[in-house]
Chain A
Amino acid sequence: MTLPKPEQPWRPAPETLSLAIVLTYLVAAAGVWSGLWGTEWAAISGELHQPPSAQHWLGTNRLGQDVLQRLLAGAATAFEVGVVVAVSTVVIGASIGGVAGFFAHGLIDGVATWLIGTIDAVPFYLFVAAVAVALRDWPGAMHLAMILSFWTLTARLVRTETMRLRHREFILAARAGGLNTFRILLRHIMPNLAPLLLVQSSLVFVAAVKAEVVLSFLGIGLQDSISWGIMIAEASQEILAGHYGNFLAASLALFGLVLSINRLTDRLQERIDPRTHASAHRKLP
């Protein structure tokens, strides 16, 4: 990570297209946040099941709501869910994993390892279902359930890396210099793990966006909101009657975003370490 990279012959970066696609989604979401478009997703603005037209670019759904408005608002929701879950997951995972790895084989580490193993042993969708029932009517239940379930993978990786780093000279020097543990972890260990944390956050982002679709489809996801998962759930009723517009729009939107972020994550991972390629997708759905 700290070594200079060997010179490579130039070729067009395959990540450019992916980056452009992700930025397009981000612009769509930013437009929703600043009120430019996608604010009328709940309004009934036309006839039912209209095909695409100049007024409704992607047609209307079974209530007569504009599909494009809902799609754009869904992009904003996807980023909200993804970013909230990814940031909280990585912060919690890095804190617990870092402390556990620094005091490896001690009491704190024992408790943390037990907690990680325990949470990993409860099947994800049942865990979310149980949290949804336990925290009925609280809008953050889905986010909380994902965070509580996803942080363990980051914690495992950070713990292993911290255990590896803590005997290195620069950490010993920092300890000899009288820095406290918190400072060593924050200023000397975490910067070394920045690439790993970045990869983890983008993996968690994708996992959260995909899980939202499944959970909203099952009716234990977002409530009183709009998302691609909710669109797909309502489309699952329309599709048997031959109305594909809503379903195709939401599915392709999800596909494009996840595909692009997955590709970017892959490139990032290859740059950090060509050998970690396979293992990072291990647990996340």
Chain B
Amino acid sequence: MKAGERSSRFLARRLFSAVPLLLGVTLISFTLTVHFGPDPAWEQLGRNPTPEQIQQVRHTMGQDRPFPLRYAGYLVNLARLDLGHSYASGEPVLDILLRTVPVSLLLVAPGFLLGIVLALVLALAAAWRPHGHLDRFCDLASATGMSLSLVIIVIALQAVFGVWLDWFPVRGWRLDGPVDYLEHAAVPTMALIAANMGYNLRFFRAVFRDVLADPPVRTARAYGFRARRIATGYVLRAAAPPILTRVMVAIPLIVISGSLIIESHFGIPGVGLVTWNAVMSGDQPVLMAVVSFSSILFVLALTATDLLTGLLDPRSRSA
């Protein structure tokens, strides 16, 4: 009874703590993209407008209102999913996002998830036998991986698999069936796995080393418990909170940089390409929507991770 009450108070407190963060990220998005962004009034005006005309357009667009009022208006629009229209195509921004986000997810998710699973398996096997062959290989792999850039890996893999071996298409995106999808997603998937392997291996292995050094695990191994029982029953469970947090924190970095770099380079019509075009042409409504939504989603994801780790491990609740 008492424990349940404490849990729900913890839940409420954590949920409430997301509110100032949400206000913060929307304030940053608003300030950067709307307040400092390109002046939309100019888009509406012809050549050589008079000062009165500029004033007129600004007034009808509500731009002469004070900053807090404009920010509040922006929050209301965001909450109503009223994101305006793209300057470039005139299409509603919401439609653009709904069309392009699934493409990016299909493109980036396999590499992201496979990369994490592969790194977890390798890291656990390496930590199991410190200074073994696999452990040394992991040293090498993480040192190499951390010193390369996703950009370099993408270009190198494209040259090897697209030009030299000619196995996969060099650019573009087509979804006429599973074979097409696998062909087009192959190089991006390999690139994402390779680019994140270094950091993932290093972090996961350090976590597993810590957990394997815990007295209960040492005892279980000394007693000759089966490796699988120790690994799944104790090690993975004890390592879950830091790994979960790490994966959550990595999502925006990997997914967004991956989608920006790969889509702009391969010409894949996902949200990364749309964002890149918006940056290049100063398409403020699109940029504003992407920045605001990804920040809001990230705050919510972090809060969810916090709640989850708090439920898994009551010790972390006080922090």
A interface with B by C-beta (< 8 Å): 114-115, 117-119, 121-127, 129-136, 210, 213-214, 217-220, 229, 232, 235-236, 239-240, 242, 244, 247, 251, 254-255, 258-259, 262-263, 277-278, 281-283, 285
Contact = CB atoms under 8 A, between A and B. Distances in A.
Given A130-B32, A242-B163, A251-B152, A121 B298 contact: yes
Contacts of A220: 279
Contacts of B29: 122, 130
B158 interface: yes
Contacts of A247: 155-156, 159
B147 A259 contact: yes
A119 B25 CA distance: 7
A109 B208 CA distance: 34
B21 interface: yes
A278 B207 contact: yes
B28 A118 contact: yes
Contacts of B20: 114, 118
11 contacts: A114-B24, A118-B27, A118-B28, A121-B295, A123-B291, A123-B298, A126-B275, A218-B260, A229-B151, A242-B163, A278-B207
Nearest to B158: A239
A220 B25 CA distance: 22
Contacts of B252: 123-124
A159 B199 CA distance: 25
Contact of A124 (B24, B147, B151, B253): B253
B38 interface: yes
A273 to B, nearest CB: 13
Top 4 nearest A-B pairs (CB, nearest first) are A118-B24, A278-B206, A134-B36, A123-B252
Contacts of A262: 143, 146-147
Interface residues of B, number: 57
Contact of A133 (B21, B33, B144, B158): B33
A278 B202 CA distance: 7
A77 to B, nearest CB: 15
Contact of A283 (B28, B202, B249, B257): B249
Given A219-B280, A263-B143, A281-B146, 20 more contacts: A118-B28, A121-B298, A122-B28, A122-B29, A123-B253, A123-B256, A123-B294, A124-B257, A125-B253, A126-B256, A130-B33, A133-B37, A133-B38, A133-B279, A218-B261, A232-B151, A240-B163, A255-B152, A262-B143, A285-B253
Nearest to B283: A133
A136 B280 CA distance: 10
Nearest to B28: A122
Interface string B173-214: 000000000000000000000000001001100110000000
A229 to B, nearest CB: 8
Nearest to B203: A278
Interface string B200-238: 001100110000000000000000000000000000000
Contacts of B71: none
A247 B155 CA distance: 9
A239 B163 contact: yes
A136 B152 contact: no
